[in-house]
DNA sequence: CAATTGACTTTGGCAAAGCAAAGTTAATTA
DNA sequence: TAATTAACTTTGCTTTGCCAAAGTCAATTG
């Protein structure tokens, strides 16, 4: 079986892969994502490539094979299911579960994972709104836009938080913008580079302002019309 | 911090230590307990001894220092709390949790462990009846006798199962002799080398027979008088 | 008391994972 | 086009754990 090191590399290759599918992930990006020196990444990638889990083109970069992608998605599934368990069942704060899951993801057996999945009723998203791959290795697509480019005034729900640093997540917590929260973008001020939000709560109107750079870190979904 | 290898060695040194406190644990016993060749155990123990976690006397054996014992007890606490969580909250069978906990015990953070402890209401015993060391590293003593040497006819409760192989635990499950089960030893037949048990259930009298060698694997406690 | 034996230790070697620093490429700049 | 530079690869070395096989010690046994 793949060592925990290899699992970590594969997961990071998946998460850091460039949007354009034909592109390679550069070794520089990979080495910083994994947290090793570039030389270490090169030799590790060579090894993983011998195992046919990635394609490696010197001076171009690295890219997952179908087998490697399946493995990466399994690790990601473990990671995200564990995060949700830690939040929902064990009551950890969502800002601290990532570190924890980073270790646990390599150690939880298939049997235990199946039980976790059952207890959580086969959830589709983790506490940060990231999609949980299915046991078969399929990632469900959600179409979202950021608070920067979603339509003004429309009722929307927070779907996903892109900056998952502990500090940012604590800020998100404070202003109640967790995944699921219903809000509208009241206005955008291009001079001040700010976005004004309104919470949709019964009888109450709360306002929150944030800069464009922060607004970009929230993905939202348009609420379905209830007429 | 101690590597997972060192944690495993310390835990095994603790669990395999001879009953007589003045005795050393031999390297042979340790190496089979840890599952490595004798040479490997020797060199590892040398290293652990350099870290002042054990005393090592060549050709005599090994023995925990107070610091090493504290560390061993912390690993044991993690192991046993995790086992109980897996059974009580995640619904795994008690015959499969040991393997699982063997890995998880090295990876669960203090914060997570504290939450587990809370959720389980600070339990004193794991699913097999083994005592869970306190966070301060204290093991509560329970005075038990085996089904071989407990008094005949007295109402007792199963306290602890000494053979924790998956097969044996499944047998224990089948005859309902889990920790907490109330029974009386009806008789012992020294010719046949068997023990006859009676379950104490409302209105029902169930009988179970087992050999001396199996009876030895059950620790029981006398029930307090209810007069 | 010597010989044998079993338990233990030592030695030498290997694989995984990592770093530092030197050496290459290839893209950019002048 | 030539020089510079940033990104990448190679090389050499380290640490941690492990095994196999050879060597040593001490307890029994004859
Ligand atoms: Mn990880
Ligand atoms: Mn997440
Ligand atoms: Mn373990
Ligand atoms: Mn146990």
Question: How far, in Å, is the centroid of ligand 4 from the Cα of B126?
Answer: 6
**Interchain proximity A112–B92, CB inside 8 Å:** yes
Covered bases, chain D (protein CB within 7 Å): 7-12, 16-22, 25-26
> Is the Cβ pair B96, A119 closer than 8 Å?
no
How much distance in Å is there from the Cα of B102 to the middle of ligand 3?
A: 4
Distances (CA, A) of B130 to B64, B160, B202, B215: 20, 6, 28, 17
CA B87–ligand 1 middle distance (angstroms): 25
Report protein residues in contact with nucleic acid strand C, where contact means CB under 7 Å.
A 3-6, 35-40, 43-44, 47, 59; B 26-29, 38-39, 41-43, 46, 58-59, 61
How many contacts (CB atoms, under 8 Å) link A and B? 41
Helix (H, G, I), strand (E, B) or coil at B182: strand
- Cβ neighbour number for residue A36 with a 10 Å cutoff: 17
- Pull the structure tokens for residue B36: 């490595």
Strand C nucleotides where any atom sits below 7 Å of a protein CB: 7-12, 16-22, 25-26
Q: Considering only CB atoms, which chain A residues are within 8 Å of B96? A: 111
| ∠ Cα B94 B96 B98 (to 5°) | 90
The predicted pLDDT at position B201 comes to: 73
From first to last of the 227 residues of chain B, give the pLDDT tens digit. Answer: 899 999 999 999 999 999 998 899 999 999 999 999 999 999 999 999 999 999 999 999 999 999 999 999 999 999 999 999 999 999 999 999 999 999 999 999 999 999 999 999 999 999 999 999 999 999 998 888 999 999 998 899 999 999 999 999 999 988 889 999 999 998 999 999 999 998 887 655 567 889 999 999 999 999 875 54
pLDDT one-digit tens code per residue, B96-119: 999 999 999 999 999 999 999 999
Residue A40 CA and nucleotide D14 C1' are separated, in Å, by: 14
HSE (side-chain half, CA atoms, 13 Å) at A161: 22
Mark yes or no for CB contact A92/B107 under 8 Å.
no
How many residues are there in chain B?
Answer: 227
Centroid of ligand 1 to alpha carbon of B10 (angstroms): 25
Cβ burial, residue B106 (10 Å; 0-12/13-18/19+): buried
Strand pairing class (B182-189; B155-161)? antiparallel
pLDDT tens, residue by residue, A56-111: 999 999 999 999 999 999 999 999 999 999 999 999 999 999 999 999 999 999 99
The pLDDT tens digits of the residues spanning B51-78 come to 999 999 999 999 999 999 999 999 999 9
CA geometry: angle A149, A153, A159, nearest 5 deg: 55
Q: Which residues of B touch A100 (CB under 8 A)?
A: 109, 111-112
Taking residue A58's Cβ as centre, other Cβ atoms within 10 Å add up to 9
Residue A210's H or E segment, with its range, is strand A207-211
Mean pLDDT of chain A: 93
């Amino acid at each position: 079986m793949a060592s925990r090191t290899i699992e970590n590399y594969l997961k990071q290759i998946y998460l850091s892969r460039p949007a354009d599918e034909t592109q390679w992930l550069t070794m520089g990006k990979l080495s910083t994502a994994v947290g090793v020196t570039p030389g270490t990444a090169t030799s590790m990638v060579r090894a993983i490539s011998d195992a046919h889990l990635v394609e490696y083109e010197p001076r171009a970069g690295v890219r997952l094979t179908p087998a490697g992608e399946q493995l990466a998605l399994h690790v990601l599934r473990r990671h995200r299911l564990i995060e949700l368990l830690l939040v929902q069942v064990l009551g950890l704060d969502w800002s601290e579960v990532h570190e924890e899951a980073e270790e646990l993801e390599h150690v939880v057996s298939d049997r235990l994972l199946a039980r976790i999945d059952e207890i959580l009723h086969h959830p589709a998203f983790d506490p940060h709104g990231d999609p949980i791959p299915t046991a078969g290795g399929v990632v469900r697509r959600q179409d979202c836009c950021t608070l920067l480019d979603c339509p003004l005034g429309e009722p929307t729900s927070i779907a996903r938080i892109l900056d998952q640093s502990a500090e940012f997540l604590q800020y998100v917590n404070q202003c109640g913008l967790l995944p699921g929260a219903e809000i509208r973008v009241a206005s955008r001020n291009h001079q001040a580079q700010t976005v004004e939000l309104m919470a949709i709560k019964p009888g109450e109107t709360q306002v929150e302002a944030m800069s464009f750079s922060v607004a970009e870190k929230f993905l939202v979904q348009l609420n379905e019309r209830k007429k």
